[in-house]
Structure 1
Amino acid sequence: MEEQKERPAFRNLRIDTARYQYLGLWEELRIPPPLPPRRCHHSAVMIQNKMYIYGGQDVHIGVLGDLWVLNIDPSSSSNELWTELHPSGDLPGPLCRHSAISRGNLIYLFGGTNNSVENSSIYVLNTENLVWTKINPSSEQPPAIDSHSACFNEADNTMIIFGGYINGVHSNELYIYNIQANEWSRPNSQRKPDPRSDHSAVIYQNYMWVYGGSSESERLSDFWRLNLRNLQWELVQSEGISPGTVSGHSVCVCGDVMLVFGGIREIIKETNSMYTYDFSSNKWLMIQHETQIKDPLSPSEIENYRKLAKQRHTVQYSSKEESAKADLTKQRSAVVGAQTQGRVKGIVPHSRDGHSSIVFEGGMYVFAGDRHQMSFNDVYCYSIQEQVLKTPVAI
């Protein structure tokens, strides 16, 4: 196995929001075709300098079962290219609203749905030989879950699953998969967050932190943490300006700060606002107001894309299935027109939910998502500035 290079550590990270500088911290990655089809509610993990995405859905195309990898190279944008991978083994098939974590060179995928059948299994991808393996645990596995959260707890080598939909009903159950022992457990707590889906969860130090999501009747704005030592929940009473009610957002941890980007507040009310939570001071800070920007596609391009999507449902795949899929992928890539390769500074991502975000070498990378039933396949990077913010200026 190739030894992973040690990445520079973040030091008491703060976000520089003074003097309206946040707009200049965004970059759009202009990547030439081939491009992944547009999607939302996919999974994304980072292994070394590569972002792996799996599945997701487009309301006009359906649920996807493809695997793509993006090579990220901040020092040379000409090396930043998408590649579709074709693994073998026990393929998970089309899935959306699933979760994935990475451990070494392995990707662990759990749950999700193809909008017809829900998945209750774990699939593991070895990124070195590109072979999928379906795991048969030595204990009873959880029921099928989708729209949940998953975190990898490196301290005890476990994958922690929380919330989501079980049999079409919101859940607040906690399931823990011990990778070494290949066993599931279902710990209980006297006090739990309300049942929810499309929330966020991250691990910082000895806690798993959960924010927002959707319940049966509303979107949520509560903030909880799970003590990973005794597996008891605590409601976090924080200070500052929090993201408020939101679901389908993304979160990242950088140093002592959690970044929350995007999400949806109500029907057809997606946002591209961004907030930080400082673990050490227990304070929220808004670092980006909702920003109105030009639609990434013109009305004619959107209509063309939807026509191509309808063709997807009329194709009768036979022995030429792979060729037909390849043709459609080329067509979908062509919708965005010719692109100039490179990074373009100062372009803020459109409002979206169901996207993913990961951190790599001082940047938060945002991929895909959905706005008003129009999915994206774009990539943006927000440069994280290591500056201590002494006197915040309202933006």
Structure 2
Amino acid sequence: MGQDQSVISGKNRPSVNDVYLPISSTRSYEEVASHGFSDVSDNDNTAGKTINQPFVGIWSVHMPEGTTPLPRTGFFSAEDKNSHKCYIGCGINKDNIFLNDVWMLDCTTHLWKLLRTSGSKISPRTGSCAVVYQNHLIIYGGYNSTDYINDMYAIDLNTLVINRLDTKGDVPCGRSSPIFDVIGDQLFLWGGFNGDWPNRLYILDLKTLNWTAYAQNITGRAAVPHIVYNDNIYIFGGSKSSGMMIINTKKKLCEVIQTGGPQPTSITTCSGMILAGQYVLYIGGKSENSYNLIYCFDLNRNMWFVFYIMPDEETVTKSDGRVTENGLFMIPRIHSFVSYYDEEKKIVYTFLGFPSTDPSPFYMLKIGDALGVLNHRSDMLDTLYRASC
């Protein structure tokens, strides 16, 4: 992803770096610092002492074992919570070579496996997306170095046979890096980039493979993270406007709600959102700054706050991050990564993406103790609210 553009067939073609969409400038340091908690400039050599916080997550870094995927960005990823596996594939490597391999990560052993697929061939691409549905990995679209594409494939995860899906109805046009997720037997697609910013909401009935399109009033976004909560899709980033975007899947409506508290920079792309109970952790994203705080969004109160973290002092130390003048520890910035949450162990894992290293390490954030404090605080606030009614 980059700011250099040339014109092909009357459309903007982003430079060959990442996920194939343009990026606007980020807010200035003065703008984000006015919130009191946001990222500091790369030129800020602040390295003070951390202050005691009411809760902290513990950050650590661990190297994988065995064979691993090539470092890349612009890849698809999908998690199968039932089998505790993650799938990644395609993307573009540091030499601007487009890839079409598919890998599985066992989230219990943290071992990678290259999937030896057969059947239809998926062309090398970047900016594609995927979901797991009824033991099939469904892959859509992307950019193949010349065109934005809208083809769709299903990999049977038992046999590893790939079949191209022939859909009908209001078939969406090709695009890179849209919102793409499944709820029940419906697949939701919104946004992305294809030289334009498409904004119609598309819903695919996975029983009939029929698409239906719904017009929206919100400008499209691309390469932004999302989570699903109570059958709604929550999206943040990729916009100059603040607020949390929600796709109401029952009303088939995209809307933006205003939120409180110190929030991340709203224009950031290629970041990650991880759902843990009623909380959403917001990590990383593209920026001129090399370090960042982790933010958290309370879905029940529509409030942002800083999620405090500290290094484990074994695999990483304070010298591996940055301490702000307010005493808050920041981790090195990552973007275009995969993340998943181990609900039993209360650990967030992120891997692949940028910075590109071979092999790609696992970044771990233990949040169990912090969630205990946050849940207790939430219960107290609920009690106070009921008492005041």
Q: TM-score, normalised by structure 2?
A: 0.71
Residue of structure 2 in register with 1:42 after alignment: 75
The question of 1:369 aligning with 2:348 is answered no
Residue deviations 1:223-270 (CA, integer Å, cap 9, x gap): 2112222112332111111112311111122221112111013xx435
Secondary structure of 2:89's aligned partner: strand
Residue of structure 2 in register with 1:171 after alignment: 198
Picking from 254, 261, 265, the partner of 1:233 is 254
Residue of structure 2 in register with 1:102 after alignment: 132
Picking from 211, 224, 228, the partner of 1:199 is 224
Tell me how far 1:115 sits from its aligned partner: 2.2
- Asked if 1 retains the 8 angstrom alpha-carbon contact of 2:57 and 2:310, the reply is no
Secondary structure of 1:186's aligned partner: strand
Give the aligned CA root-mean-square deviation in angstroms.
Answer: 2.9
Residue of structure 2 in register with 1:383 after alignment: 366
Q: In structure 2, what is the Cα distance between the partners aligned to 1:348 and 1:32?
A: 27
Q: In structure 2, what is the Cα distance between the partners aligned to 1:359 and 1:65?
A: 26
Q: Structure 2, unaligned stretches of length 5 or more?
A: 1-50, 312-317, 322-328, 379-389
The question of 1:162 aligning with 2:190 is answered yes
Tell me how far 1:278 sits from its aligned partner: 0.8
The question of 1:180 aligning with 2:230 is answered no
Structure 2 vs 1, CA of residues 51 and 233 (structure 1 numbering), >3 Å: closer, same or farther?
closer
Structure 2 vs 1, CA of residues 293 and 354 (structure 1 numbering), >3 Å: closer, same or farther?
farther
User: AA paired with 1:278?
Assistant: D
Percent of paired sites with the same residue: 21
User: AA paired with 2:284?
Assistant: G
Residue deviations 1:95-131 (CA, integer Å, cap 9, x gap): 2111111123111111111222322011111111111
Q: Equivalences for 1:52-91 in 2 at 5 Å?
A: 52-73=87-108, 79-91=109-121
Structure 2 vs 1, CA of residues 125 and 348 (structure 1 numbering), >3 Å: closer, same or farther?
farther
Structure 2 vs 1, CA of residues 203 and 391 (structure 1 numbering), >3 Å: closer, same or farther?
closer
Structure 2 vs 1, CA of residues 374 and 101 (structure 1 numbering), >3 Å: closer, same or farther?
same
Residue of structure 1 in register with 2:56 after alignment: 22
Tell me how far 1:21 sits from its aligned partner: 5.8
Of stretches 356-365 and 143-152 in structure 1, the one that deviates more from structure 2 is: 356-365
User: AA paired with 1:99?
Assistant: C
User: AA paired with 2:199?
Assistant: N
Tell me how far 1:352 sits from its aligned partner: 1.7
The question of 1:358 aligning with 2:340 is answered yes
User: AA paired with 1:188?
Assistant: A
Q: In structure 1, what is the Cα distance between the partners aligned to 2:339 and 2:377?
A: 28
User: AA paired with 1:63?
Assistant: F
Residue deviations 1:62-101 (CA, integer Å, cap 9, x gap): 221111112222xxxxx43212111011121212111111
Picking from 86, 89, 96, the partner of 1:51 is 86
Q: In structure 2, what is the Cα distance between the partners aligned to 1:348 and 1:55?
A: 31
Of stretches 127-136 and 230-239 in structure 1, the one that deviates more from structure 2 is: 230-239
Q: Equivalences for 1:83-162 in 2 at 5 Å?
A: 83-154=113-184, 157-162=185-190
Structure 2 vs 1, CA of residues 188 and 111 (structure 1 numbering), >3 Å: closer, same or farther?
same
- Asked if 2 retains the 8 angstrom alpha-carbon contact of 1:202 and 1:252, the reply is yes
Structure 2 vs 1, CA of residues 227 and 122 (structure 1 numbering), >3 Å: closer, same or farther?
same
Picking from 274, 277, 292, the partner of 2:294 is 274
Residue of structure 1 in register with 2:238 after alignment: 213
- Asked if 2 retains the 8 angstrom alpha-carbon contact of 1:264 and 1:271, the reply is no
Q: In structure 1, what is the Cα distance between the partners aligned to 2:180 and 2:87?
A: 16
Q: In structure 2, what is the Cα distance between the partners aligned to 1:359 and 1:263?
A: 18
Q: TM-score, normalised by structure 1?
A: 0.70
Residue deviations 1:8-28 (CA, integer Å, cap 9, x gap): xxxxxxxxx97376352x333
Q: In structure 1, what is the Cα distance between the partners aligned to 2:308 and 2:359?
A: 21
Q: In structure 1, what is the Cα distance between the partners aligned to 2:289 and 2:53?
A: 28
Tell me how far 1:287 sits from its aligned partner: 1.0
Tell me how far 1:207 sits from its aligned partner: 2.0
Picking from 276, 284, 302, the partner of 1:254 is 276
User: AA paired with 2:87?
Assistant: Y
Matched positions, count: 307
Residue of structure 2 in register with 1:340 after alignment: none
User: AA paired with 1:356?
Assistant: V
Residue of structure 2 in register with 1:285 after alignment: 305
Residue of structure 2 in register with 1:6 after alignment: none
User: AA paired with 1:160?
Assistant: F
User: AA paired with 1:28?
Assistant: V
Q: In structure 2, what is the Cα distance between the partners aligned to 1:232 and 1:23?
A: 35
User: AA paired with 1:187?
Assistant: Y
Structure 2 vs 1, CA of residues 138 and 233 (structure 1 numbering), >3 Å: closer, same or farther?
closer
Q: Equivalences for 1:296-375 in 2 at 5 Å?
A: 350-361=332-343, 362-371=346-355
- Asked if 2 retains the 8 angstrom alpha-carbon contact of 1:260 and 1:274, the reply is yes
